[in-house]
Amino acid sequence: MEIAVVSGKGGTGKTFIASNLAFYLNTRVSPTVAVDADVEEPDLILALGGVKETVEVLSIGNATKVRIVEEKCIKCLKCLNNCRFKAITLLDDKPFVKEELCEGCMLCALLCPADAIEEYVKVIGRLYVVKTRYGELNVVYGDLEIGERATGKLVFDVKERARKVASNIKAKYIIVDSAAGIGCPVISSISGSDLTLIVVEPSITSITGAKRALKIARTLKSKPLVIVNKYDLNPDLAGKIKEELDAEIIGYIPYDTGIVEAYTSMKPYLIYGGKDKAYSSLVKLLEDLVSTVI
């Protein structure tokens, strides 16, 4: 079973929910693989207390890029004028390719009358399979070169590798911690999942983001369930979320600085936070989720 954790707005608690759900399932229910699908900023492993052992490192995202051969270029600017991604700009009166914007479509090469466009392949990221220090949970994550963009394809590759790991260790669950937003990488995170957990906080901006994420989950036929995090910071608005989103809410978790402290001490919250405010509501939510949905 695949479960995606999304939010729309950043900072609502995706990584908090995903890390604890994966840790809980793995230690108490059945072997689990956790996936960090935020390939621009993979932080899931930090919330799980760090790496015990790196099992595998692979190159991912071989991307086609182009460069302009200066000696051949006749400065007709056909490349610059026709690139749909605005990836070519003028630098000292010469066309110059902004590498990170280049999609590798090769239209410029097709149109260049001087054969001045050269193609090359760039590895834009690495994929890691690791075991965590606490509970030996298998985590699969991608890490991109700075400035490269996360694409749906990259997230798909990371998830595919996680599925292989899951089948090797006979894991029953795959938990996908998505990036913020609702763009291509998030669509890819949700795509193919059975369940989408939408983490929302009682702020106007988070509710708007959640609505957008909800729309995508429904389109992709992944069952959406909502978790209201930090509900006690704004109880009035928290009470209106059910009505606002028109979706099933499976739990309310209070704001707890113990979560920050757990990150600080590099321990999973479920190990660190036994006496903290959010602990009992989190455990109840996880128990309910396991007994009723999963």
Partner 1 sequence: MVVVGVVGGKGGTGKTFVSVNLAVLASRNKHKTLLVDVDVDNPSTKHYLRLAKARSREVTMFKPIISEKRCKLCFTCINSCPEHALVYIPVDNKIKLLSDLCSGCSVCMYVCPEKAITEGRKTYGTITYAVIDRYLDAVIGELYPGERHTINLMIEVLSSIRDMVRKYDVVVIDSPPGVNAGIYEVVRFSDKLVAVTEPTRLGLNDLKKLVNLILKLGKKPLIILNKHGLKGGIDSEVIGYVEKMGLSLIKVPYSESIALKIMKGEVVVNYSEFTSVLNAFNEILRYVVS
User: Please, what sign has the CA dihedral across residues 228, 234, 238, 239?
Assistant: positive
Q: Which is nearer to partner 1, 30 or 62 (CB)?
A: 62
- Binding segment for partner 1 (CB under 8 A), chosen from 28-36, 201-209, 244-252, 277-285, is 201-209
Residue 11 lies near partner 1 (rule: CB under 8 A): yes
Report the nearest approach of partner 1 to the CB of residue 171 (Å): 25
Site residues (CB under 8 A) for partner 1, limited to 21-40: 38, 40
Binding string, residues 79-118; x marks residues near partner 1 by CB under 8 A:
---x-xxx-----------x-xx-xxxxx--xx-------
Strands 32-36 and 173-177 turn out to be parallel
Residue among 175, 176, 242, 207 at smallest CA distance from 26: 175
State how far the alpha carbon of 45 is from the alpha carbons of 88, 130, 222, 243, in Å: 37, 9, 25, 34
Torsion of CA 224, 28, 34, 31, to 10 degrees: -110
* Structural element, H or E, at residue 285: helix 279-288
Binding string, residues 213-252; x marks residues near partner 1 by CB under 8 A:
--xx--x-------------xx--x---------------
Binding string, residues 43-82; x marks residues near partner 1 by CB under 8 A:
x--xx----------------x-----------------x
Residue 139: CB atoms within 10 A of its CB come to 26
Residue 255 lies near partner 1 (rule: CB under 8 A): yes
Mapped onto helix, strand or coil, the DSSP state of residue 232 is helix
**Diameter of the chain measured on Cα atoms:** 70
Residue 275 lies near partner 1 (rule: CB under 8 A): no
Residue among 135, 141, 136, 147 at smallest CA distance from 161: 141
Size of the site for partner 1 (CB under 8 A): 65
Amino acid code (one letter) for 34:
A
Residue 148 lies near partner 1 (rule: CB under 8 A): yes
CB-facing half-sphere around the CA of 213: CA atoms within 13 A = 34
Q: Which is nearer to partner 1, 52 or 211 (CB)?
A: 211
For partner 1, the binding residues (CB under 8 A) are: 7-12, 15, 38, 40-41, 43, 46-47, 64, 82, 84-86, 98, 100-101, 103-107, 110-111, 144, 146-150, 152, 179-184, 186-187, 201-205, 208-209, 212, 215-216, 219, 233-234, 237, 255, 257-258, 260-261, 263-264, 266
